Structure formats: structure tokens, C-alpha cells
Amino acid sequence: MLNVQLSSPNTSDLSSSGLLPCGKLVVSMGSIGRLSTKGTVLLLCDMQEKFRPTIFQFTNIVNNAARVLQACRTLGIPPIVTEQYPKGLGATVPELGASDLKAHAKTKFSMLTEDVQSELKRLGEPKQAILCGIEAQACIACTTFDLLDRGVEVHIVADAVSSRSQTDRLFALSRLKQSGAFLTTTEGLLLQLVQDAKHPNFKEIQKLLAHPSPDTGLLSFFSSL
């Protein structure tokens, strides 16, 4: 993302400011979104039993999120799980593979409850977050906004995020992209995390990519990009 400021700067002061001169304009170069396994957290949002019959492409969304979780475990990226009002909406579905993780119960839409914020603090305040789950226009959106406000770079795994309505899902992804979140796919994310076939965990990650992700209805999204 580029931030443009009108000014006539002393170019000798620009090298440490992240600003590049362009005539009378100063262009601020934002992050390109290169993920690292260090200083990154995986956030798994509200993939619960009661949502199974109502969320668009629920099974495929959860299966993709499960692959992301497996990869993050392999690469040492810590995961955090939340559940929206579990008393009424049930527990996290078993196929996510997160039964060994504590699920943080919540009623607010954002995942950043007091408990989760304490967990982030314990993890050293990660600067990058990978986000999977539901629903795009509600809990995913509110979580993204809160993370961006904290200066955290957000990577939304688009084929591991959904809503009841495909319309809400696609418009939410477009809105979050406008706000500065990076959109990626399960395979794109995993390959970016290893970056090299010589990576010591590449073969384990490669096994997770043996079968391409199914179409989860994202192709129509590209008409708005």
C-alpha cells in the first residue's frame, strides 16, 4: 500500500523514514506482506458445530484451515482458537484438528478478547497474524480491524474463510483488502512460509499440498479486484 504525502523534503532525511522522493511527492512504501515463521501467530476463528449447515462451503473451509494448522504446527507458528458463545453454538468441529488447544470463549465479534490479548502478550506481541475462520463480515472483519489498529500485519486465508452468504463473504474480503489486509490462499500461504525446496520442513509441507484446494467460490471475487 502506498501513502502519498505532498511535501518538499530534504532527501538526506529520507533513508531512515521509509519515504522515497518522487518530484514534489513523497511516497511511503508499505509492507509487501512477506510472511515469516518468526513473530507470527495463527488465529482460528469460531469454526463450530452449529455453523456446519449454514456456512457456505463449510467443509472445504475447515479442511483448508486444518491444513494451515498442521503446517503452522510443523513450522513452529503458535495457534490461537476462539469459539463464539459455545454454550449455544457448540464446540470447535473435530476435523479442524485443534482438540488439544484451549478454545477461548467469547461473545464479542473480535477474537481479541482479554484472554487472547494476554496470550498475544505471552507470545511476545506477534507482528504478523494468519487468519482463518468465520464469518468474514463479522468476526473475521472485526478481528482484522483490531489487529490492524495494533499495527499487526494481517494475512487472511481466503479459501479458509467464509460466511453464510457468499455475497457477504466476497464483499467482506474486498473491504478488508481495502483496509490493508493481505489476501492469500492455503497453498500460497504454505509455500510462502517455506520459500525453498531445501527448507528442512518442505517435504512435510509438500504432503499437505498433494491435492489442490477445491474451488470455494472465490473466482467471482477477482472481477472486483
| Active centre residues (catalytic) | 46, 106, 139
Q: Helix 186-194 crosses helix 58-75 at what angle (to 10 degrees)?
A: 10
Angle at 147 between CA 47 and CA 202, to 5 degrees: 65
71, 158 contact by CB (below 8 A): no
Query: CB–CB of 133/47 below 8 Å?
Result: yes
Question: Going by C-beta distance under 8 Å and a sequence separation of 6 or more, which residues neighbour residue 200?
Answer: none
- Which of 122, 113, 106, 132 lies closest to 185 in space, CA to CA? 132
Element (H, E) at 165: none
Tell which residue, 176, 164, 187, 136, has the closest CA to residue 58. 164
3-state helix, strand, coil split of the chain in percent (to 5) is 40, 25, 35
